[in-house]
Chain A
């Protein structure tokens, strides 16, 4: 009787605290994101007042009010340096969070994140190769292109490795293949670092991730990838809900359980690959944001996908602004997300254990 009573108390809480109004959540997050962009645009070595930030942007894109009287230095700093970096950080954050939702949903594994299938290790290996061997004829695109190719090749190999005889993919096979391939590639990266001599610092910095020296073409690339992914995921959001009931049930409710998971995994990995190619490896966003947002919006992927996308953008933008404008020295963004995200993850994990509910 006592035990039953306890159970009742425990169960009634989470559903009640879950705020279900999707419109309110999306509205609030969008507001925070826009405010964050303006705030971040004003902060930095040169302080630009909020009003001027808005004025410069609106003069540039809407043509009104005219840019007469605006500081040219402020304009240049904001439009050529800060905005590309701010937008790239927000979009990469969105992409990583989005991919995290998909990976956790398909692999039915709370530990899954966008790097589970070895995409990050593949990208790192490709980038290290490019840094080590130069490829000068490709200019500044060598590193992102090689990072993307490394990630895509790794994804292909992991999928080949985990396909069973009848063409299905079990989540444990995928996770295991990802771990094996990541281990091999990590050894490869260590070897490249060993060979690299003085260039080892460049490799290490790339691995830790950075949004410094972002350009508008970078922003365009990640935006195209993340937007495509977002639309694909939203299209299959309902099927993803059904997949959480197990493969047999999903199939009996009309989901093509061969094709849909594969489409989603490949799309999520490619979105991640583009993000990593542009910014380096940034951990914890793809693991943490889906967990946090699932307790806010509920597990329904039709709500979770847009909410997590916005939350990921806000979070990574905040982290990048902290390292760029607030800390006395810029520390690598990947280090910062892990330093903040890791302990925070421990905290919510412990809290849920105490409440008696795992993930």
Chain B
């Protein structure tokens, strides 16, 4: 898998949300995107899956411009877990997860045995199976978020994009789900690109980090290269101490008041 962004710029009216971002992502890695509120993280994800089209610059997937793919082709390559995960109608959790198989099944066909097996598998793996027959509108925020993640996993795409997908989960479920997707990176060669707010979780799970500020890509590289006290101060304007933490197996950040 290769996903290349070449001087990609996106404007909201006159405000530049993503500014001349150039980056090349390759398969089998876990990428974390970090940055303050309004730094363009979500917009960057949208540009990567063509939910938005860049005002200038180019996004290439497997060497081909993203605009040359059909919507359905893209849905077989990229799955997205959005920040907003309200569902407006009382579908059951399982019905929502099955929707992840839509891009793989013809318009008027019911999901086949293989589809349903995939659905059961991800529902068990994410712990959604235990409330699979309950209505999505009546689940708690965290449960609903897990259903949406299960739906994205059922889509079974080479690339998974997470937009703060663990923001509503307790630490048990957050770590469980990040382990689940990171296993798929290792064992199946998938690629995960995830927006994080928690720097330490990002450092623990990611291979490489991208730091955004005001729409610009300020720093990009492995966790050891990029996660420094200087970067944290520059990006977030807070004082922090960064050190390798053997228990986490990665560099971690501590803050003070």
The interface of chain A, by Cβ under 8 A from chain B, is: 7, 10-12, 14-15, 105, 108, 165, 235, 238, 241-242, 244-246, 248-249, 251-256, 294, 298-300, 357
Contact = CB atoms under 8 A, between A and B. Distances in A.
Interface in B83-120: 84-92, 95-96, 99-100, 102-103, 107
Contacts of B51: 248, 251-252
A246 B82 contact: yes
Given A238-B107, A251-B71, 19 more contacts: A11-B135, A12-B134, A15-B134, A105-B89, A108-B88, A165-B13, A238-B102, A245-B148, A246-B85, A248-B46, A248-B51, A248-B84, A249-B148, A252-B51, A253-B99, A253-B103, A254-B76, A298-B91, A300-B91
A249 B83 CA distance: 10
Interface of A is mostly: helix
B33 interface: no
Contacts of A238: 102, 107
Contacts of B96: 245
Q: Which 3 residue pairs spanning A and B have beta carbons closest together? A: A254-B75, A299-B89, A252-B80
Contacts of A249: 80, 82, 148
A254 B86 contact: no
A344 to B, nearest CB: 20
The contact size tier of chain B is: 35 or more
Nearest to B74: A254
A14 B148 CA distance: 21
Nearest to B155: A253
B165 interface: no
A249 B100 CA distance: 10
B99 A245 contact: yes
B102 A242 contact: yes
Which of B49, B78, B84, B99 gathers the greatest number of chain A CB atoms within 10 Å? B99
19 contacts: A11-B135, A14-B90, A14-B138, A15-B92, A105-B89, A165-B13, A241-B99, A244-B89, A246-B85, A248-B80, A252-B49, A253-B75, A253-B99, A254-B75, A298-B91, A299-B89, A299-B90, A299-B91, A357-B137
